[in-house]
Amino acid sequence: MKASRIAAAGAVSGIAVLALSAPAFAHVSVQPEGTAAKGGYAVVDFKVPNERDDASTTKLEVNFPTDQPLASVMPQPVPGWKAEVTTSELAKPIESHGKQLTEAVSKVTWTAEGKGVEPGYFQKFPVSLGTLPEDADQMVFKAIQTYSNKEVVRWIEVPQEGQDEPENPAPVLELAAAEDDAHGASDSSDAKAGDDAESAAKDTAAAASTDDGSGDGSDTTARVLGIVGIVVGAAGVGYGVLAGRRRDSGASA
């Protein structure tokens, strides 16, 4: 009898712990698809779970940090949802692809055109972002979640290192270290290969010009031209291989 009471008490305690910890797993979050590297572009997913039993999530507003403006923000279409992008004027213009931008996206709002995110389900909202900050380790996106019963939950509290997670934490995107410029490396290799080929051709031509002009001059000239052809051909093959590597590197990036 005593053992049964202890087991029952343990079960009740376990349920209570789960009930108290559930909200920590149910907040709006953001995760990259792959790597979100500093100074680069990334596709990130804003994940919205529905922790309510009697209401659906019908609206999500994600606010973008004004102190870390992004030149490009493009939401991916999500079936059953309408996306609206809001831009605001920047206090300080930013440069992107050689152009001065005076405004940037400040908010993206998704509104359900149907039932929305029903109880027991979650929805991902993908967005392409760039370029990501080079001088920061993370980006904070404050989000507002609205339910079909008009309830509004504001996920706007910024988590602090060394402290417990707040009750309504804002989504935080962790940024990885900047990636090497593979394109620049390939370009340098191509240029070096071209310079080596040109130098070899010049050396071969110089050797031909020092020929004593004897009766076998035509044979020497033919041999020189053949060598030049081989050098140029080898350089072309090497350049083709390096160019292929550059295209593969660009595609993987």
CA–CA separation, 232 and 204 (whole Å): 11
Nearest partner of 67 among 91, 44, 43, judged by Cα: 91
| Rounded average pLDDT over 130-140 | 93
Mean pLDDT (the chain) is 74
Instruction: Report CA 212 to chain centroid distance, whole Å.
Output: 64
Residues 25-45, mean pLDDT to the nearest whole number? 92
Q: What is the pTM of this model?
A: 0.61
Nearest to 51 by CA among 125, 142, 113, 117: 117
pLDDT > 90: what percent of the chain? 48
Verify cis geometry, omega within 30 degrees of 0, for the bond prior to 221: no
Task: Write the pLDDT tens digit of every residue in 162-192.
Answer: 888 889 999 999 999 987 643 433 344 444 4
What is the b/e burial string over 145-183, where b = at least 16 CB atoms within 10 angstroms of the residue's CB? bbbbeeeebebbeeeeeeeeeeebbbbebebeeeeeeee
Give the separation between CA 246 and CA 191, rounded to whole angstroms. Answer: 13
pLDDT at residue 249 is higher than 80: no
pLDDT of res. 250 = 45
Low-confidence winner among 48-57, 165-174, 218-227 (lowest mean pLDDT): 218-227
The answer on pLDDT for 129 being more than 90 is yes
Residue 215: its pLDDT value, please? 43
Q: Are 39 and 129 in contact (CB under 8 A)?
A: no
- Identify the pLDDT of residue 223: 52
> Which residues have a Cβ under 8 Å from the Cβ of 227 and sit 6 or more positions away?
204
From CA 129, how far away is CA 124, in angstroms rounded?
15
243 DSSP 8-state letter: H
- pLDDT surpassing 70 at residue 241: no
Question: Percentage of residues in the chain with pLDDT exceeding 70?
Answer: 60
- Per mean pLDDT, which range of 6-20, 37-51, 101-115, 163-177 is the poorest? 6-20
Q: What is the pLDDT of residue 148?
A: 97
Amino acid at 232: V
Q: How confident is the model at residue 199 (pLDDT cuts 50, 70, 90)?
A: low
Residue 74 pLDDT level (bands cut at 50, 70, 90): very high
**Number of other residues whose CB lies within 10 A of the CB of residue 55:** 17
What is the reported pLDDT for 180?
A: 67
Structure tokens at 244: 């292929």
Nearest CA to 104 out of 122, 130, 79 is that of: 130
pLDDT band at 25 (very low <50, low <70, confident <90, very high): low
